[in-house]
Amino acid sequence: MSRNKKFCICAIVVIYFPEPELLRRVITASLTQVDELVVVNNTPATTVLSDVFIPKSPCITVLNQNKNIGLAAGLNVGIEYARQKNVTHYLLLDQDSVPASDMVFQLTLAWGAAVNDALKVAAVGPAFTDDRGGAPPPFLKVGFPSNHVVQPTLDENYVRTDVLITSGCLISEAALDCAGLMNEWLFIDNVDIEWGFRVQSLGLNLIGAPYAKLTHRIGDEHVQAPRWARWLFRRQIAVRHNDFRLYYIFRNRIALYKLKTVPSLWKLQDLFRLPFKIALCVSISDKPLTTLRQLFVGMGDGLRSRNAFQASAMATRSPLANKSTDNLST
């Protein structure tokens, strides 16, 4: 149960062929920190998940989709179900994201501090690390030619940021009422970026909570970055994704360039870095030609499609969307 009585929180965990032990840790660590927990199961109905740990509890609901409807749609299914419970906030989690024992409490503290400073808050996200190694990703403000790292001072329990990852993010019902649900056309990648920029275009804020901790896995595996990439990106480790994910990553990045809610500075910065990202993905791939082909198929589809724009517009036309932001004080 949430330790902050102003928050009635439902955790939403979207799963797809989860690792049983890791999912057990996610659910166990989350259940004591929230009021409700919804598991949206995107694993196909033909697969038996008998070894997956989902404890019997009146606080847990499993919604079987019987097919992979994607992360964005899965989150929306969970949110729509949880709305029947009259919750005030939603904690979004991946199947490989394990919150620290006080993560949710720290998120609510950061939320309260930001509201006390007269900020209209849409979402608060934790600092996360990957248990397979690599430097913890910092909170960022969009810049050119690269983003600016936001470093909190010792007496600050929150920072303003332009980007939060989906997992570990605490989102208010009031923000969803204003901005709408997740863009389902994006399927799995850049869902957080699009929604985050959408709420910021309405004058709302994304908040980073440096004392809220989450363990989260990025990519399929970590590999040593090529020398040129270590110099350019200032990272020793490169994250390798499978070609299925890379298709959506690059398709959706191109599609986001066409959205008016996405800042021009981010588009310029991302477009500038795009050739280097392509080179990195190809250079660390086991099948570089296949990967290169998949990247260009994805970018071509993103360039031609208007679905991202239409899906974003549909999300903001939901019956509850476009309400006033004046009720974002909690």
61 and 184 in a single domain? The answer is: yes
Does the residue 330 lie in any domain? no
Does the residue 315 lie in any domain? no
201 and 160 in a single domain? The answer is: yes
Give 7's contacts (C-beta < 8 A, 6+ positions apart). Answer: 88, 89, 108, 111, 330
Separation CA 27–CA 21 (nearest Å) = 10
245 and 163 in a single domain? The answer is: no
Does the residue 238 lie in any domain? yes
Which phi and psi angles does 221 have, rounded to 5°? -160, 165
Give 147's contacts (C-beta < 8 A, 6+ positions apart). Answer: 140, 141, 162, 163, 269
pLDDT for the residue 6:
85
- State the residue range of the domain holding 254: 221-309
Query: pTM above 0.75?
Result: yes
Does the residue 328 lie in any domain? no
CB 202 within 8 A of CB 86: no
229 and 205 in a single domain? The answer is: no
244 and 184 in a single domain? The answer is: no
| Bond preceding residue 263 cis, omega within 30 of 0 | no
pLDDT digits (tens, 9 = 90+) for 196-212: 999 999 999 999 999 99
91 and 180 in a single domain? The answer is: yes
Q: How does DSSP classify residue 83?
A: G
| Listed residues 217, 245, 276: the one ending a domain | 217
**Token pair for residue 212?**
């809220």
83 and 232 in a single domain? The answer is: no
191 and 254 in a single domain? The answer is: no
Residue 161 CA from chain centroid, whole number: 14
172 and 261 in a single domain? The answer is: no
CB 268 within 8 A of CB 219: no
CB 195 within 8 A of CB 162: no
Does the residue 193 lie in any domain? yes
Please state the rounded mean pLDDT for residues 144-170.
92
| Listed residues 152, 186, 217: the one ending a domain | 217
* Predicted confidence (pLDDT) at residue 136 exceeds the cutoff of 90: no
110 and 253 in a single domain? The answer is: no
Instruction: Give the number of domains in the chain.
Output: 2
- Which range among 1-10, 16-25, 121-130, 219-228 shows the weakest confidence by mean pLDDT? 1-10
226 and 298 in a single domain? The answer is: yes
Output the average pLDDT for the chain.
Answer: 91
Does the residue 23 lie in any domain? yes
Cα separations in angstroms, 237 against 245, 280, 285: 19, 11, 14
Burial class (CB in 10 A: 0-12, 13-18, 19+), 69: middle
Does the residue 314 lie in any domain? no
pLDDT for the residue 330:
57
Residue 57 belongs to domain with CATH number: 3.90.550.10
Please state the rounded mean pLDDT for residues 117-133.
93
| Listed residues 217, 245, 264: the one ending a domain | 217
pLDDT digits (tens, 9 = 90+) for 276-305: 999 999 999 999 999 999 999 999 999 998
173 and 253 in a single domain? The answer is: no
Does the residue 324 lie in any domain? no
Separation CA 73–CA 120 (nearest Å) = 26
Separation CA 160–CA 117 (nearest Å) = 12
